[in-house]
């Protein structure tokens, strides 16, 4: 069974530029998550989708971050404009039902903002 | 709100040593508790879980017991191997609340 796919794995941009990350969850998983993991910290939930609807985006900085999940499958996370403090690994995860806490993570996309 | 406090690392042990990584939590209601592991160059993956008090989760020789009286979920392994070198995250979810992670503990096993 294919795992969660993410791209790009690495991205370096300058502040005020924009960047987009893509995620393809495990087939059949209804719930998709984007987490931000800053060096030395645990992952922090940015947004949770159930199919193509948003369940929780309370910690998403909506002035610069946006995310969508079209057709309830793939998802993109965009940052525009980027700030230095956005340097982090962006993790995508999926789960069958969003209830059990059993998440399957991708390898992450490492963003460096200069 | 919900929170998880993990033993700070890094932790360095010799092969075959006994491992304990402490984890305590604060939560409303009755949380489910998890240990996730991140091996070098790989994504986070679920190691074990426990969904109610006194439950013991186990996998790959690791164990953790859900202790409601001490609000703890310490991770243990009797004899670690070099291949156990990774970052370990304690986490919890309560009801439909989002999964909340601790800060992670980096473990290095020396041959």
Q: pLDDT truncated to tens, each residue of chain B (111 aa)?
A: 889 999 888 999 999 999 999 999 999 888 999 999 999 988 899 999 999 999 999 999 999 999 999 999 999 999 999 999 999 999 999 876 688 999 999 999 999
Cβ–Cβ < 8 Å for B25, B2 = yes
Beta strands B32-38 and B23-26, pairing class? unpaired
Which residues in chain B are closer than 8 Å to A45, comparing Cβ atoms? 98-99
For the purposes of burial, counting CB atoms within 10 Å of the CB of B72, is it exposed (0-12), middle (13-18) or buried (19 or more)? middle
Tell me the C-alpha to C-alpha distance, in Å, between residue A27 and each of A8, A39, A50, A72: 20, 30, 14, 11
CA proximity to B84, closest of B76, B72, B73, B74: B76
Report chain A residues touching chain B, CB-CB < 8 A.
3-4, 40-45, 48, 56, 91, 93, 98-108
B99/A45 touch (CB, cutoff 8 Å), yes or no: yes
B99/A103 touch (CB, cutoff 8 Å), yes or no: yes
Cα of first residue to Cα of last residue in chain B, in angstroms, is: 41
A108/B43 touch (CB, cutoff 8 Å), yes or no: yes
* CA dist., res. A101 & res. B98, Å (int): 8
């Amino acid at each position: 069974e294919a795992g969660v796919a993410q791209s790009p794995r690495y991205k370096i941009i300058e502040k005020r530029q924009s960047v987009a990350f893509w995620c393809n969850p495990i087939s059949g998983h209804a719930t998709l998550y984007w987490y931000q993991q800053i060096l030395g910290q645990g992952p922090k939930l940015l947004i949770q989708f159930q199919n193509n609807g948003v369940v929780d985006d309370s910690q998403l900085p909506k002035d610069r971050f946006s995310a969508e999940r079209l057709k309830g499958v793939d998802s993109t996370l965009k940052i525009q404009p980027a700030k230095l403090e956005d340097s982090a690994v962006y993790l995508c995860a999926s789960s069958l039902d969003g209830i059990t806490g059993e998440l399957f993570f991708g390898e992450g996309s490492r963003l460096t903002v200069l | 709100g919900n929170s998880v406090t993990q033993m700070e690392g890094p932790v360095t042990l010799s092969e075959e040593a006994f491992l304990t990584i402490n984890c305590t939590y604060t939560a409303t209601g009755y949380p489910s508790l998890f240990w996730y592991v991140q091996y070098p160059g790989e994504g986070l993956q679920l190691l074990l879980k426990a969904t109610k008090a006194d439950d013991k989760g186990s996998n790959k020789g690791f164990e953790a017991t859900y202790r409601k009286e001490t609000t703890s979920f310490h991770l243990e392994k009797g004899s670690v191997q070099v291949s156990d070198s990774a970052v370990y995250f304690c986490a919890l979810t309560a009801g439909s609340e989002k999964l909340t992670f601790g800060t992670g503990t980096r473990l290095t096993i020396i041959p």
